[in-house]
């Protein structure tokens, strides 16, 4: 692509700032390794490990079938993000600018705001969970304390929460390059520690480990459905796990040098990475079955059983790095861009990040005592389901309606005759397609009869959004 495609001359300051502007190819520094580490940090959280380990125990499937389902899910997500990532590789724009082409230059604020709310909420929650790793470390070094607490958190827990919250602010304030550096260190570091833990467990379990793996591989659990239903449930669960990053993957690929490097990073980071990480989780889980008489899927429980200060320190630092990594990838960078898109003249990427961190502080601080008790996570999950149709709208618009060609000037223009101005800056047809598809996707959260879709509600909602949009939009 020639550099002139990225030149923008006639822009509206209400739609433009330097953080939203297209990044020229000569200014991009990300390759396949950075994309690989986006996914490494996404899967290597405490929840990601527990999810991977529990899949071998919960569905009664042969272990090889579980591994096949995990790999298939990785392939599906890889295909999805290759589609949403390609436009941003070509034009260097983030998600909220990309979706202006389909929703309108003003209508794009609607999906951006929904995505920002979801990201800010989970940013606060994950900040709390990252702080539990620091609490584990400080408690191991200083002791439990006097037992007093405020809003469900001890003094040590509060100190840990503030430390993590400030660390993340300091990190993002340094800019995207420092975030990239952190992700590039955190992803491989977590792998090194996980491999070391696997080796330790393997040595301690000795010749009993492989029979334990065989026990897990033989299948078990309380799942009542058929093997096919179990297989599809695992695939759907893993796809749903990555859904938060799928829509706004362009927020990362805009920094990538070429589409080829993006695809290599996605291949290594999704099906291959997820399969390898799941294998490690399987071996460690089998080891706990030998060492403790039960299969432990929570890394914190394993550390607690071992009761070793060196292991506690290493594990705490690892859990901290892994959880901060996924927080930056899934919950910080997207809302920072989304908020910047609302008021570009006054909100930059950094200011959007400060707003995200400020609101998220109260979410994380009130998580234990208030928020986790009153059902707000269900509301946010409903919002997550609602945004699914936007994926289909983005993909169909770019590939089938716009034929992979966008006008950069028009994406930053409020000219009533502009290509993406539609009706007062809103595309009514796209809103209609979204509304029709969202009725279904939100039903998968609110209607008990549809709960068995096990993650496929997101995929079906995305597909319906694309189909309705294609039927409603005039073709070139």
Write out pLDDT tens, residues 362-410: 999 998 788 777 765 566 566 677 888 999 999 999 999 999 999 999 9
Q: Pick the closest to residue 39 from 213, 201, 206, 267 (CA basis).
A: 267
Entry field: residues in the chain: 476
- Tens-digit pLDDT profile for residues 247-269: 999 999 999 999 999 999 999 99
Q: Pick the closest to residue 119 from 363, 292, 319 (CA basis).
A: 363
Which pLDDT does position 356 carry in this prediction?
Answer: 93
Q: How far apart are CA 421 and CA 390, in angstroms?
A: 18
Which pLDDT does position 5 carry in this prediction?
Answer: 47
Which pLDDT does position 101 carry in this prediction?
Answer: 96
Which pLDDT does position 196 carry in this prediction?
Answer: 83
Highest mean pLDDT among 92-96, 177-181, 214-218, 275-279: 92-96
Largest CA distance in the chain: 73
pTM reported for the whole predicted model = 0.87
More confident residue, 306 or 108: 108
Please answer whether residues 278 and 67 qualify as being in contact, where contact means their C-beta atoms are separated by less than 8 angstroms: yes
pLDDT reading at 145 higher than 70: no
Q: How far apart are CA 459 and CA 437, in angstroms?
A: 11
In the numeric block, which tokens belong to residue 368?
């234990």
Beta bridge partner(s), residue 149: 154
Beta bridge partner(s), residue 154: 149
Q: What is the 3-state secondary structure (H, E, C) of the chain?
A: CCHHHHCCCCCCCCCCCCCCCCCCHHHCCECHHHHHHHHHHHHCCHHHHHHHHHHHHHCCCCHHHHHHHHHHHHHHHHHHHHHHHHHHHHHCCCHHHHCHHHHCCCCCHHHHHHHHHHHHHHHHHHHHHHHHHHHHHHHHHHCCCCCCEECCEEHHHHHHHHHHHHHHHHHHHCCHHHHHHHHHHHHHHHHHHHHHHHHHHHHHHHHHHHHHHHHHHCCCCCCCCCHHHHHHHHHHHHHHHHHHHHCCCHHHHCCECCHHHHHHHHHHHHHHHHHHHHHHHHHHHHHHHHHHCCCCCCHHHHHHHHCCHHHHHHHHHHHHHHHHHHHHHHHHHHHHHHHHHHCCCCCCHHHHHHHHHHHHHHHHHCCCCCHHHCCHHHHHHHHHHHCHHHHHHHHHHHHHHCCCCCCHHHHCCCCCCCCCCCECCECHHHHHHHHHHHHHHHHHHHCHHHHHHCCHHHHHHHHHHHHHHHHHCCCC
Q: How confident is the model at residue 223 (pLDDT cuts 50, 70, 90)?
A: low
- Tens-digit pLDDT profile for residues 65-91: 888 999 999 999 999 999 999 999 999
Where do the structural domains in the chain lie, given as residue ranges? 34-379
Euclidean distance between the first and the last CA atom of the chain, given in angstroms as a whole number:
22
Q: Pick the closest to residue 330 from 144, 124, 59, 156 (CA basis).
A: 124
Q: Pick the closest to residue 392 from 472, 460, 455 (CA basis).
A: 460
Which pLDDT does position 2 carry in this prediction?
Answer: 40
Q: Which residue has the tokens 């490097």?
A: 261
* pLDDT (average), residues 231-255: 88
- Tens-digit pLDDT profile for residues 160-216: 999 999 999 998 888 888 888 888 888 888 888 888 888 888 888 888 888 888 777
* pLDDT (average), residues 141-157: 79
Q: Pick the closest to residue 394 from 120, 115, 181, 119 (CA basis).
A: 115
Tell me how far CA of residue 196 lies from CA of 226, 318, 429, 451, in angstroms. 37, 12, 54, 39
- Reply yes or no on domain 34-379 having CATH 3.40.50.2300: no
Phi, psi of 154 (to 5 degrees): -75, 170
């Amino acid at each position: 692509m020639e550099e002139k495609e990225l030149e923008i001359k006639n822009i509206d300051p209400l739609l433009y700032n330097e953080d939203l502007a297209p990044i020229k190819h000569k200014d991009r520094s990300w390759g396949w390794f950075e994309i690989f580490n986006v996914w490494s940090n996404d899967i290597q959280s405490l929840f990601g490990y527990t999810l991977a380990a529990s899949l071998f125990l919960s569905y009664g499937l042969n272990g090889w079938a579980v591994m096949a389902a995990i790999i298939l899910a990785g392939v599906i997500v890889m295909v999805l993000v290759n589609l949403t990532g390609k436009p941003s590789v070509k034009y260097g724009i983030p998600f909220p600018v990309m979706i202006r082409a389909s929703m309108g230059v003003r209508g794009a604020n609607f999906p951006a705001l929904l995505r920002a709310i979801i990201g800010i909420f989970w940013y606060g929650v994950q900040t709390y969970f990252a702080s539990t790793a620091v609490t584990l470390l400080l408690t191991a070094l200083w002791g439990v304390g006097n037992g007093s607490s405020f809003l469900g958190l001890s003094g040590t827990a509060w100190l840990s929460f503030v430390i993590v919250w400030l660390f993340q602010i300091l990190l993002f304030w340094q800019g995207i390059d420092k975030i990239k550096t952190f992700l590039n260190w955190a992803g491989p570091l977590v792998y090194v520690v996980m491999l070391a833990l696997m080796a330790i467990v393997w040595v301690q379990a000795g010749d009993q480990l492989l029979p334990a793996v065989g026990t897990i591989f033989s299948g078990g659990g309380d799942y009542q459905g058929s093997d096919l239903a179990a297989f599809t449930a695992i695939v759907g669960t893993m796809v749903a796990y990555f859904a938060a990053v799928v829509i706004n993957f362009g927020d990362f690929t805009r920094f990538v040098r070429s589409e080829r490097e993006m695809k290599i990073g996605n291949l290594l980071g999704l099906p291959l990475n997820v399969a390898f990480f799941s294998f490690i989780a399987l071996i460690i889980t089998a080891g706990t079955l030998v060492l403790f008489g039960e299969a432990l899927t929570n890394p914190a429980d394993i550390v607690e059983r071992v009761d070793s200060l060196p292991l506690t320190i290493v594990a705490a630092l690892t859990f901290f790095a892994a959880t901060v990594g996924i927080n930056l990838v899934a919950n910080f960078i997207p809302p920072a861009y989304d908020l910047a898109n609302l008021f570009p003249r006054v909100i930059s990427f950094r200011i959007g990040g400060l707003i995200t961190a400020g609101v998220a502080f109260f979410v994380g601080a009130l998580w234990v005592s208030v928020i986790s008790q009153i059902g707000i996570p269900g509301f946010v999950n409903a919002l997550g389901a609602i945004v699914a149709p936007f994926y289909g709208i983005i993909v169909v618009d770019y590939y089938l309606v716009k034929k992979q060609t966008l006008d950069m000037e028009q994406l930053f223009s409020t000219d009533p005759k502009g290509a993406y101005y539609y009706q007062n800056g809103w595309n009514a047809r796209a809103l209609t397609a979204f509304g029709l598809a969202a009725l279904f996707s939100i039903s998968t959260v609110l209607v008990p009869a549809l709960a068995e879709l096990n993650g496929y509600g997101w995929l079906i909602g995305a597909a319906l959004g694309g189909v309705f949009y294609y039927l409603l939009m005039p073709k070139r």
